[in-house]
Structure 1
């Protein structure tokens, strides 16, 4: 295993884990974008590691906080998400073999749009969205999870509009990401897409994920949510633009 690949990979994982723990989103976007920008490993490889890491991050962050999760909305969202994950995986398999440059451009554009969505400040709704809205967002998020292990953007936008406590929003997102990670990893395994290297990378990352999830949970940065969103926005725009420029 090449340390010149493993060490920067672990560093990116650590940073993204901390960010996701304190905000409820961004792990997949940061890891996928940064790893692909630096050509550390292929997109399909990174997406598997992200799924396994997301599971650990969610499990640690949710420990002791289950009562704050809006179980009904999580179930509705995930019921539409799981079938869509398979569709995203099929597109990823096709594009990885024949259209890799186009796949990276698509990834870059997706990250840029995600960054813009993070900066949007829609008015909070006076009552929760209906079942169809949660299911529709879940389907879009599922396709993105299958393609890039990045289910965040549509779900972050939807949940942050709901009249819920901030803690409930963050934990709902972490719950959904955890479940999508389980579903995606299971489907990839059923397709025979898991390799020893993928599992080895994931196992090596697990202590780092556990540590930085704990740090984010117990020692969040002393900055406002608005500042965190702006920092995430600028980082994602830089990563996304780099991918697009590199492959045009």
Structure 2
């Protein structure tokens, strides 16, 4: 991209979304994909590659020193079904980006609205953990969304927040899965020849900001209740998703 003006608001959106994901365990992909697409800063396929790169940095910094709290077994079960689905999502993105871009943006808006509603459902924790099949099924759905939009969060957030785990385990499991999905997606895009110099430059410029705001989120979380955080994330996602839907109807 010759015009670097989109870089400034792009970095600002990345910084804000990184902080939100660090304190909640989700929302980076949804906020970045939705906001960047709403303002037509860069194409969806481009943004999704950058989101994968910054998700990796966010996860690596957030997990440092906290890995013992991760439920490794369920993370691996989820990822085993997620990776094949990521490839399917990438193939669908490649097909829709060339001929059905408006439909792709509409689908993104609907997905973000649905994600916001899922966040507000606030499911009650179950008495015992879900079956391995449930984690694998959720991983497959998340993988398809990750391939399309680099946005694996909604089905995983809903499932993990229903588990009778400690909050830190839920948050770090989600960050671990997002990190692994980012690595897998970026590797697959590279194998397809879909990585460009512009994408790498955008990603490299955003990395220091991601590391900084991840550190800020770890050490200076907002002094509000989890319910307040959920409501704030909900309203933000609804606004972003609705703007995309209206724009592309």
Deviations for 1:2-51, whole angstroms, at most 9, x for unmatched residues?
34200000000000000000000000000000000000000000000000
What SS does structure 1 have at the residue aligned with 2:6? Answer: helix
Question: For the residues of structure 2 that align with 1:213 and 1:122, how far apart are their CA atoms?
Answer: 27
**For 1:76-225, what aligned pairs fall within 5 Å after superposition?**
76-225=77-226
Cα offset, 1:122, TM superposition: 1.4
Cα offset, 1:223, TM superposition: 0.3
Question: For the residues of structure 2 that align with 1:26 and 1:201, how far apart are their CA atoms?
Answer: 20
Deviations for 1:196-234, whole angstroms, at most 9, x for unmatched residues?
000000000000000000000000000000000000000
**Residue 4 of structure 2 corresponds to residue 6 of structure 1:** no
The aligned length equals 248
Question: For the residues of structure 2 that align with 1:20 and 1:144, how far apart are their CA atoms?
Answer: 17
Which runs of 4 or more aligned residues in structure 1 lie more than 6 Å from their structure 2 counterparts after TM superposition?
none
Question: For the residues of structure 2 that align with 1:91 and 1:139, how far apart are their CA atoms?
Answer: 15
Give the match for residue 65 of structure 1: 66
Cα offset, 1:123, TM superposition: 1.4
Question: For the residues of structure 2 that align with 1:212 and 1:2, how far apart are their CA atoms?
Answer: 26
Deviations for 1:48-98, whole angstroms, at most 9, x for unmatched residues?
000000000000000000100000000000000000000000000000000
Question: For the residues of structure 1 that align with 2:23 and 2:122, how far apart are their CA atoms?
Answer: 19
Question: For the residues of structure 2 that align with 1:212 and 1:167, how far apart are their CA atoms?
Answer: 19
Question: For the residues of structure 2 that align with 1:179 and 1:233, how far apart are their CA atoms?
Answer: 25
Deviations for 1:113-142, whole angstroms, at most 9, x for unmatched residues?
000000002111000000000000000000
TM-score w.r.t. structure 1 length?
0.99
Question: For the residues of structure 2 that align with 1:101 and 1:121, how far apart are their CA atoms?
Answer: 32
Gaps of at least 5 residues in structure 1 are none
TM-score w.r.t. structure 2 length?
0.99
Question: For the residues of structure 1 that align with 2:181 and 2:6, how far apart are their CA atoms?
Answer: 27
